[in-house]
Structure 1
Amino acid sequence: MLPRPNLSFTLPSIHDNTKLDCRIYHPIRSNQSLTLSDPSWPRHAAVVAHPYAPLGGSYDDPIVLLVTSTLLHLGFVVATFNFRGASSSNGRTSWTSKPERADYMSVTGFLVYYLHYLSAPQNQLRPIETDENSASTLLLAGYSYGAMVTLQLPPLDSYLSHFASPATHTAFADIRLRAQHLAEEQVIMFTTPASPRKSLGMRVGGNEDISPKARDKQRAHSPDPEEKIRRGVRDILSRISPPLGFVTNLATMSFSNLWAKKKKGGPAKNHEDDRKREEGEAEAEAKFTANPTLAIYGDQDSFLSMKKMRDWATQLSGAEGSQFRYVEVSTAGHFWIEHGVAHELREAIYSFSAGLVKG
């Protein structure tokens, strides 16, 4: 049973400022929310991406919820989100997945800074110092279409660097400021037990489920939520500090769906596309083998070519020094509804993620 999210809010995509619906869940310990006094708070974080939006994919997908629940019990702070065109996120699903990669990177950037400011003393926001005993894990996960997007993400440092000193009035700056503002509000709520769980303009603790009509009525009697956020972050501008050293370990967990890419255009265009695709695949393979990575798929997944999937997994796992691992689940189809396969999926996720937490 997944608890209500601690935060429900929106972010602008770094691709084109499209508004994305997002959720943050704090870890679970003995069926209770982890508190700031816990020695393991906060060290580990994860982003989980959902299936194809035009076919009903959203952050409410059962497999997304299963992965999120498993990670919460291991002490991860988990972010889920709706890609553009999914549920109430703005925009439309693209044909290239390039905008969706930017959507994913937007949420990742937010999560890194959110955890930084959540763990830093409110009166002394400074870079987090890490050592071997306090290393943090950032796990990037996806299921179905979300896995395809995860596979295509560029190296983490190539886009997190844009959040370090963002130009004003950009999505990078907006995301970072929202992360700090929301983290500081959470610190206040955690350290002031008697304070009501107010969102200060952001939907907190499940208000995302209210009807559009009720939400419009609520907005009519309160200032615009976006303006409340902006007012709340104005006083933060003079005390921003980057989370240097926070991301010390990257893991990418990718579930089923390696969709084939169709060639379009004439010979010259095909040659250029092939070159770029080969470069991207080489970069991805380097990322997967250099960092702890897990691919989980079912042998009855009709969306996959089993031969290609097995060849791909065997090649990556067999490379010298590779940290890539894979699990093939017998009788499991694409939707993981066959008898007993969801349990095997959960166990594989738990084992892999527990290993990351233990170092």
Structure 2
Amino acid sequence: MSLPSPTFIFTIPSIHDDTILNCRLYVPCKDLVLHDLQPPKAAIIAHPYAPLGGCYDDPIVESVGFVLWRAGYVIGTFNFRGALGAVGHTSWSAKPELGDFVSMYGFMINYLNCLILGRGRFQRNTDQQLSSIPSVIEGEELPTKPHLCPRLLLAGYSYGSIIASHLPDVEFVTKLFKNAVSGSAESEIQLRASNLSSQTLKDLEFRQKHNLDGTSRKTPIMQANLGSLQPSSPVLVGGFESEAAEERIDRELRRSLDLRKSLDRVREKIHVRRHRLPDSSDTSDEGLRVNYNFDVIVPEICYLLISPVLPPIATFATFFSSLSFKRRQPGEFISNHDVSSQLVRYPSLTVYGDNDFFTSIKKLRRWAQELSEKPGSTFEYCEVEGAGHFWQEKGVLEQMENHIRDWESSLT
């Protein structure tokens, strides 16, 4: 099975170098995020190596996404730079791609927080239409009930697993975006997450008011007003959320005519239309710091790696460099960290086949067993007999999906 049509097709700038990333968001049809007893859940799934055809349309990405989407997750996918005709080119070091994933990581943290904040407003006044949720909220605190803590699953298949397993810690990413400066890539991502979460809540509110769960009978009027949650009509969002970011990025892009032309081709390809949040009373925001005036809830993190690529192939993919996220500003970076500590600290699952030609089965077994046996480890692994790297053998894809489904249902 594969994912339905996306709810939103949108772009965000990469915090590595402002490269425009093509992204998709799939919101579950069932009205889950408006219930106080059900915290929102989301997953980001990274695709295989772009020069070999990897992109967010990959069938394994679609299969994994469908399993999680059916379990109530908001699914986020994105194209690394250079994938499927996107802007830029695949790097030798994978560090720009790591920045691409961190950009989507920060988007999803902000999107989940805005969903929770908007849901609190919805519950306080269910008879009024939800208003837009600005990125800066004066004098309002986000609910901090423990049961509201969202879950964010970081997933990757093949090359995507290399990038996912080297992501910085969630506390670092949260802080990185909380302290975003107006006009920066981080600020643009914040605003886009706020914009899309507001639209999501409006659509979900409409469904709840009309008792629509994706299976009920719809009148022609309802069918015409289902909005962005209707699978056949995704909402396309591109351009920039703030003039400060547009001016800054345009100024930088004018230095490279080729890059400018590539950006124009992307905009034309997805037929983007400009979406802007309501302007504040202060029309000049240049140099201002965009801060959330509420305590951001740090999501619970989980990892899911499909057909992980281990050295020496992983070393070739990063051109023998040490893969760690580094911020553009001098002096602000995250130092190299033990990748295995993330997989041991947070609930993690890896699924691989015993016929994977990229990594020997002996190496995969030894790596998985060592991680699972570390003190306090929450790492789990499943080996599928007869499965290759691309999961094309008869019956193996269903086994992989079942392992993911069982593991996800065991998370508390």
Range of TM-score over shorter length: 0.7 to 0.9
Residue 205 (structure 1) aligns with: 234
Residue 44 (structure 1) aligns with: 41
State the shift of 1:100 in Å.
0.6
- The yes-or-no answer on 1:72 pairing with 2:101 is no
- The yes-or-no answer on 1:86 pairing with 2:137 is no
Q: Tell me the amino acid that sits aligned with residue 24 of structure 2.
A: R
- The yes-or-no answer on 1:180 pairing with 2:194 is yes
Structure 2 unaligned blocks of 5 or more: 122-129, 208-221, 238-263, 325-333
Distance 1:94 1:5 in 2: 28
Distance 1:66 1:163 in 2: 30
Distance 1:232 1:167 in 2: 17
Give the secondary-structure state (helix, strand or coil) at the position aligned to 1:251: strand
Give the secondary-structure state (helix, strand or coil) at the position aligned to 2:393: coil
Normalised by the size of structure 1, how large is the TM-score? 0.81
What per-residue deviation string (whole Å, max 9, x for no partner) do you get for residues 237-282 of structure 1? 89963663523421111121224225999xxxx9xx6899xx9886
Distance 1:347 1:88 in 2: 33
Residue 241 (structure 1) aligns with: 292
Residue 98 (structure 1) aligns with: 95
Indicate which of 236, 258, 282 corresponds to 2:310. Answer: 258
Change in 2 beyond 3 A, CA 1:311/1:217: closer
Residue 143 (structure 1) aligns with: 157
State the shift of 1:157 in Å.
1.5
Q: Summarize the alignment of residues 304-315 of structure 1 with structure 2, pairs less than 5 Å apart.
A: 304-315=359-370
Q: Which sits farther off after the overlay, 154-163 or 116-125?
A: 116-125
Q: Summarize the alignment of residues 142-181 of structure 1 with structure 2, pairs less than 5 Å apart.
A: 142-181=156-195
Residue 299 (structure 1) aligns with: 354
Change in 2 beyond 3 A, CA 1:351/1:161: same
Residue 21 (structure 1) aligns with: 22
Normalised by the size of structure 2, how large is the TM-score? 0.71
Residue 127 (structure 2) aligns with: none
State the shift of 1:34 in Å.
2.7
Distance 1:247 1:172 in 2: 17
State the shift of 1:216 in Å.
4.7
Q: Per residue, is there more helix in 1 or in 2?
A: 1
Change in 2 beyond 3 A, CA 1:297/1:264: closer
Distance 1:128 1:7 in 2: 25
Instruction: Decide whether the 8 Å contact of 1:140 with 1:150 is kept in 2.
Output: yes
Give the secondary-structure state (helix, strand or coil) at the position aligned to 2:277: helix
State the shift of 1:112 in Å.
1.2
Aligned-residue RMSD, C-alpha: 3.4
Instruction: Decide whether the 8 Å contact of 1:302 with 1:333 is kept in 2.
Output: yes
State the shift of 1:310 in Å.
1.4
**Count of residue pairs brought into register by the alignment:** 331
State the shift of 1:188 in Å.
2.8
What per-residue deviation string (whole Å, max 9, x for no partner) do you get for residues 313-340 of structure 1? 1111001111111111110000001111
Q: Tell me the amino acid that sits aligned with residue 5 of structure 1.
A: P
Distance 1:242 1:343 in 2: 45
Distance 2:113 2:60 in 1: 28
What per-residue deviation string (whole Å, max 9, x for no partner) do you get for residues 1-29 of structure 1? 422111100010000000011011112xx
Instruction: Decide whether the 8 Å contact of 1:142 with 1:150 is kept in 2.
Output: yes
Instruction: Decide whether the 8 Å contact of 1:147 with 1:254 is kept in 2.
Output: yes
Q: Tell me the amino acid that sits aligned with residue 148 of structure 1.
A: I
Change in 2 beyond 3 A, CA 1:323/1:93: same
Distance 2:108 2:368 in 1: 29
Distance 2:397 2:95 in 1: 30
Structure 1 unaligned blocks of 5 or more: none
Give the percent of matched residue pairs that are identical in Structure 1 and Structure 2: 35
